[in-house]
Amino acid sequence: MSENIIEIKDLNKSFVSEKGHVEALKNVTIGIKKGDIYGIIGLSGAGKSTLVRCINLLERPTSGKVIVGGKDLMELNDRQLRSERRKIGMIFQHFNLLMQRSVIDNVAFPLEIAGKSKKEARKKALEYLEAVGLSEKAAAYPAQLSGGQKQRVAIARVLASKPEILLCDEATSALDPQTTKSILTLLKEINEKYGITIVVITHEMSVIREICSQVAVLDHGELVESGSVEELFRNPKTEEAKRLVYSGSTHVLSMTSKKVVRVFFNGQDSYEPTIGNIILETSTPINILYANTENVNGNAVGEMLLQLPDDVEKADRFIRYFEEKGLNPKEVKYDADSAGNNDDN
């Protein structure tokens, strides 16, 4: 465990709000290895943002330990904590740039905090702006930039304090898919080039799939599942993880009308025309209500919702076949009326 750059142990955080006592985090324990890109995923309100703010103590946990780079942050005084924070960069959903400072002065800001002169800070800042491909915007102000450019400035600003860790709090949630992709690519580059450990907080499975190697699933303040991203996609164990992996299918299911099963693919089966074969074999059509299959590291994984014939005998034939093929069929309740309304999160 000693190679873990971040160790969170039995972390609890509760708030006293107007609505009463809220337990935002319950006994969360996570170990993050140096150089990893670690994803923390959960629906909104799951406690992800609170958790990531506990890593640099922007939020003070109610109990538990936060050990970063071997140092127990809760034991440090203000001055020591500030110097540790410089090693833990953070980027945000809404970028949080200084709006009255030019782009270059935003990037120079952490250098000024570190005691560099304004001139020296600007010179260094330009190098970091180059690293994120924005040196031509040095004199512009944040209000003149697009969302993706603002996030690049925020990343350059973080890099200027030479962090060992980068916390990303929904850093791509305010961006369109294409910009998201370019920011994620940049994060991956940073991880490889500077060896910075990255912690990614998100509610989007696609972000996890894109860049993370390890993942933890947070639900109502509890860590319900963690492990490699590949494993999570192949075999999500908890309900919450399944819901996130197969996101989009969640609200399709509400009431029973016909016989519907959900089948799961896990790699080895997907090059075989499994569904086609059984249809040919039984000469009975079945209806694919929903399908989501992915290619994860060379293995196709995913799920389908299949509407089976009303005839019990024939339906059972399909189910036995799926079981034989290891597709783990599960009968689900399905409401045709609400099938169309699947807004994201």
Partner 1 sequence: MLTQQEIMMIIEGLRDTLIIVGLSTLFGYLLGLPLGIILAVTDKDGIKPNRIIYKILDLVTNILRSFPFIILLVVLIPVTRAIVGKSYGTGATIVPLVVAAAPFIGRMVESSLKEVDKGVIEAAQSLGAGNGTIIFKVLLAEARTSLLVGATIAFGTILGYSAMAGAVGGGGLGSIAIRYGYNRFQPQILWPSVIILILLVQLFQILGMRISGKLDRRKK
Q: Which of 11, 131, 154, 315 binds partner 1 (CB under 8 A)?
A: 154
Q: Which helix (H) or strand (E) holds 162?
A: none
Task: By CB under 8 A, tell whether 125 contacts partner 1.
Answer: no
Task: By CB under 8 A, tell whether 31 contacts partner 1.
Answer: no
Q: What mask, x for binding partner 1 by CB under 8 A, covers residues 42 to 61? A: --------------x-x---
Give bridge partners of residue 11 from the DSSP assignment.
28
Backbone angles phi, psi at 38, to 5 degrees: -110, 125
Closest listed residue to residue 196, CA positions, set 211, 182, 216, 206: 211
User: Residue 69 carries which side chain, given as an amino acid letter?
Assistant: G
Part of the chain binding partner 1 (CB under 8 A), chosen from 28-36, 86-94, 323-331, 334-342: 86-94
CB of 169 or CB of 210, closer to partner 1: 169
Part of the chain binding partner 1 (CB under 8 A), chosen from 3-11, 76-84, 180-188, 315-323: 76-84
Question: Any idea what DSSP says for residue 83?
Answer: H
CB of 103 or CB of 252, closer to partner 1: 103
CB of 86 to partner 1, least distance (A): 4
Residue 312 burial (CB count, 10 A): 10
Q: Cα–Cα distance between 253 and 290 in angstroms, integer?
A: 11
Q: Cα–Cα distance between 197 and 37 in angstroms, integer?
A: 6
Task: By CB under 8 A, tell whether 132 contacts partner 1.
Answer: no
Query: DSSP H helical segments within 266-309, as ranges?
Result: 274-282
Retrieve residue 246's tokens: 């197969």
Task: By CB under 8 A, tell whether 128 contacts partner 1.
Answer: no
Closest listed residue to residue 182, CA positions, set 211, 203, 161, 204: 211
If 0-12 CB within 10 Å is exposed, 13-18 middle and 19+ buried, where does residue 42 land?
Answer: buried
CB of 100 or CB of 297, closer to partner 1: 100
Part of the chain binding partner 1 (CB under 8 A), chosen from 99-107, 207-215, 286-294, 331-339: 99-107
Helix (H, G, I), strand (E, B) or coil at 334: coil
Task: By CB under 8 A, tell whether 86 contacts partner 1.
Answer: yes
CB of 37 or CB of 154, closer to partner 1: 154
Helix (H, G, I), strand (E, B) or coil at 163: coil
Q: Which of 98, 291, 300, 332 binds partner 1 (CB under 8 A)?
A: 98
Q: Which helix (H) or strand (E) holds 150?
A: helix 147-160
Task: By CB under 8 A, tell whether 121 contacts partner 1.
Answer: no
Q: Cα–Cα distance between 188 and 182 in angstroms, integer?
A: 10
Part of the chain binding partner 1 (CB under 8 A), chosen from 9-17, 38-46, 112-120, 261-269: 112-120
Q: Cα–Cα distance between 62 and 10 in angstroms, integer?
A: 10
Backbone angles phi, psi at 143, to 5 degrees: -60, -20
Number of residues that bind partner 1 (CB under 8 A): 35
Q: Which of 34, 35, 62, 112 binds partner 1 (CB under 8 A)?
A: 112
Task: By CB under 8 A, tell whether 301 contacts partner 1.
Answer: no
Part of the chain binding partner 1 (CB under 8 A), chosen from 24-32, 156-164, 207-215, 236-244: 156-164
Query: DSSP H helical segments within 195-310, as ranges?
Result: 205-211, 229-234, 239-245, 274-282
Task: By CB under 8 A, tell whether 116 contacts partner 1.
Answer: no
CB of 48 or CB of 157, closer to partner 1: 157
Q: Which residues bind partner 1 (CB under 8 A)?
A: 56, 58, 78-79, 82-86, 88-90, 92, 94, 96-102, 109-110, 112-114, 141-144, 154, 157-158, 161, 167
